[in-house]
A and B are shown apart, each in its own frame.
Chain A
Amino acid sequence: MTERHNGSSLARYYWERARKNRLAVAGLVFIIFLILMGLIGPFFTANPTAVNFEEKNRPPVGFAIEESVYDFETQQLVTKTIIGTAKHPLGTDNKGRDLLAMIVSGTRVSLMVGLFATGIAVALGTLIGVTSAYFGGLVDHVVMRFTDIMMTFPFFLIFVLIIFIFGPSLLIIVVVIGLTGWTGTARLIRSETLSLRTREFIMAAKALGASDKRIILTHLVPNVVSLIIVIATLSIPGVILAEAALSFIGLGDPLVTSWGMVLRAGQQNLGTAWWVAIAPGIMLFFTVLAFNFMGDGLRDAFDPRSAV
């Protein structure tokens, strides 16, 4: 590490390192784009739930489809070419809903689920991991065995069961994913804390009579923050995919338009409107990729051993 960072903050130093990873930056740019789309997009797009059967199955701009329509004058079925217009840049679905508006609404849903569920999971995992490692012994043993058990539990089906019982709502989906997704975080944070626990500054804090709570919250947790950020970034894709999968099979919140729901509508009309199934999948794919690239980049940037 030969570079100097005169007076600049640590965050800036990490940013300088992360910036050198092009894929991570591309990921970050895409994530910022998604956030902007989720925040201000809905003000510029149509109502994603507005049904209009007059304009159903319109192709995206630049595409044309052939459609059989009944011609009242000749009283025959005639083949008409329908061209995508700028009014519906991504086209419409079989109920005439604007696909762009649905995608924008889905961005908001996916990001919200990703952030909140990951937030719950990572906070819980950090607390469990740090506490377990700090106290060690029997506490550690019991907590870690419990974590092992949680890790082998079939959560997707449990999600399905819980949503089946309590009804599909975004809140329940977020809480359930959050409360069950902490195991990986707990393990990683635990092993990191185990090595911190024996350091001098912790011993010094103990010698000064600091309480366990104080040591955990003001000495241990701040030292694993970089790890927490990396874990959170890499956890978000899984959470987003879980929510999308649930909405895709029809167990999503029916009151909000999510990507999974659009994909479901698209799958049911593959023969007439192929574009409806493609758009949400592409969004999901690039979102997952973006978070993965950014997470990898952050991990390298935070790791002092890796040469960037």
Chain B
Amino acid sequence: MRKNWLRDYIIKRLFYVVIIAFGVLLVTFTLVRIGPSIGATHPADKYLASMAAQGQDVSQAIAAIEARYGLDKPLYEQFINYAGNLARGDWGWSLSTSMPVIELIKTHWIYSAQLIILSSIFAAGAGILIGILSAVRQYSKTDYIATFFSFVGISIPNFWLGVMLILLFSVQLGVFRTYYDTGIPVFSLANLRQLILPVITLGTGMTAGYTRYTRSAMLDNLRKDFVRTARAKGLPERTVIGKHVFRNAVLPLVTIIMFDLGAIVFGGAYLTEIIFGIPGLGQISFNAIFADDYAVVVTVVLISAFLVLLINLVTDVTYTYLDPRIKYD
């Protein structure tokens, strides 16, 4: 009975994913079509424009280019071609770096991934730990300090925090370099060291959120009857907190963390990469914007959108496994 239900649920979710993916494709396709796709940015077009300015007839040349890019075909056919190319891994040509977009993505995705994963681990670890301490010692000095810092952490704009960290630790104290060094191998201690400031920048807001969530969830559960029962039957406080309260409190946090993972792929990581010069997907799409390199920008939007869809799907499905009481209608 339950198995069938879960299967139906996953099928339903996959159906939504397909619809959303279609929507994302449609949006980016529209943006590509109304944007300067092969408009003013392509060298050939600039040449044609200058020829036209000299009074020459360039309509044949334009028709040839449009045919080459399939722009003479009806819109729906163009859309099918566009989706087909994406599916085959033909993501276009990056003009500013002179390589296929997919090659560019292949060399740079790891820089984004390391930042996002490390920040999430840091935020989840610190947030849960501080949240538990705060709840177990409610209204103590620890609790007040933790509450204060979580308020500050939530309200502080993370891009400003990043700039301030650079100002303090790199410019004034000289502890860290101002810029990320790509010469250092990704899997090394030196790389971990240079990621400290970016991880704090990206992780502080999340840490604060998780602290507040963990605290209130722990406090909610501490008041429950099963806790009184557990204490009454003489269980040590450690077991009561660690096993009974924590397990119940932390479960919904899994969803929040996973959803955040989706959210920070865009906002936070994007800005953090730019501030610290980390050459991840955010940074390359950012550079591409100023270089009028359209294909790269659109591809990064697409990848991010699909990644979030996937993460959200996995989150919901995992959650139904973790908590059998949950039913999505």
B-binding residues in A (CB < 8 A): 145, 148-149, 152-158, 160-162, 164-165, 237, 241, 244-245, 248-251, 263, 266-267, 270-271, 274, 277-278, 280-281, 284-285, 288-289, 292
Are A160 and B159 in contact, CB atoms less than 8 angstroms apart? no
Chain A residues lying within 8 Å of B178, measured Cβ to Cβ, are 270
Residues of A within 8 A of B242 (CB): none
Given contacts A153-B305, A266-B163, A267-B163, 14 further A-B contacts (CB under 8 A): A152-B20, A154-B265, A154-B301, A154-B304, A158-B27, A161-B297, A164-B289, A165-B35, A244-B159, A245-B157, A245-B267, A284-B157, A289-B151, A292-B155
B16 to nearest A CB, angstroms?
A: 7
Residue of B nearest to A249 (CB): B274
Instruction: State the CA gap A237–B166 with chains docked (Å).
Output: 24
Interface-central residue, A149, A152, A160, A288, by most chain B CB under 10 Å: A152
In the complex, which of the residues B35, B155, B166 contacts A289, with contact meaning CB atoms closer than 8 Å? B155
The one of A155, A156, A270, A285 in contact with B171, judged by C-beta atoms closer than 8 angstroms, is A270
**Contacts A160-B289, A274-B167; A149 near B16 (Cβ below 8 A):** yes
Distance, CA A289 to CA B160, complexed state (A): 15
The secondary-structure label for the interface of chain A is: helix
* A245, B298: Cβ atoms closer than 8 Å: no
Q: Is B270 an interface residue (CB 8 A)?
A: yes
Q: Which residues of A contact B156 (CB under 8 A)?
A: 285
Contact status of A149 and B155, CB under 8 A, knowing A249-B274, A249-B286, A263-B163: no
The docked-state distance in angstroms from the alpha carbon of A251 to that of B289 is: 10
Number of residue pairs spanning A and B whose beta carbons lie under 8 angstroms apart: 104
Asked, given contacts A249-B271, A274-B167, whether A157 binds B160 with beta carbons under 8 Å apart, the answer is: no
Are A149 and B19 in contact, with the CB atoms below 8 A? Answer: yes
Residues of B whose CB lies within 8 Å of any CB of A are 16, 19-20, 23-24, 27-28, 31, 34-36, 151, 154-157, 159-160, 163-164, 166-167, 171-172, 178, 262, 265-267, 270-271, 274-275, 285-286, 289-290, 297-298, 300-301, 304-305, 308-309, 312
Q: Is the interface of B mostly helix, strand, loop or mixed?
A: helix
Shortest beta-carbon distance from A26 to chain B in Å: 13
- Top 9 nearest A-B pairs (CB, nearest first) are A281-B160, A156-B266, A165-B35, A289-B155, A157-B301, A288-B155, A156-B267, A154-B266, A154-B304
* Interchain Cβ contacts under 8 Å between A and B, 6 examples: A148-B16, A157-B266, A157-B300, A267-B163, A277-B164, A285-B157
Chain B residues closer than 8 Å to A289, beta-carbon distance? 151, 155
The distance from the CB of B18 to the nearest CB of chain A, in whole angstroms, is 12
Complex: A267 Cα to B161 Cα, angstroms: 11
* B301 contact set on A, CB distance < 8 A: 154, 157-158, 161
Contact of A248 among B27, B28, B271 (CB under 8 A): B271
How far apart sit A206 and B20, CA to CA, in the bound complex (Å)? Answer: 37
CB distance from B185 to the nearest CB of A (A): 28
Which listed residue (B154, B270, B298) contacts A156, Cβ 8 A?
Answer: B270
Min CB–CB distance B278 → chain A (angstroms): 14
| Residue among B16, B160, B163, B166 having the largest count of chain A Cβ atoms under 10 Å | B160
Centre residue among B159, B171, B270, B312 by max chain A CB count within 10 A: B159
B171 and A157 contacting across the interface, CB-CB below 8 Å: no
Bound together, the chains give a CA A15 to CA B23 distance in angstroms of 45
Complex CA distance for A165 and B267, rounded to whole angstroms: 19
Q: Complex formed: what's the CA distance from A183 to B289 in Å?
A: 28
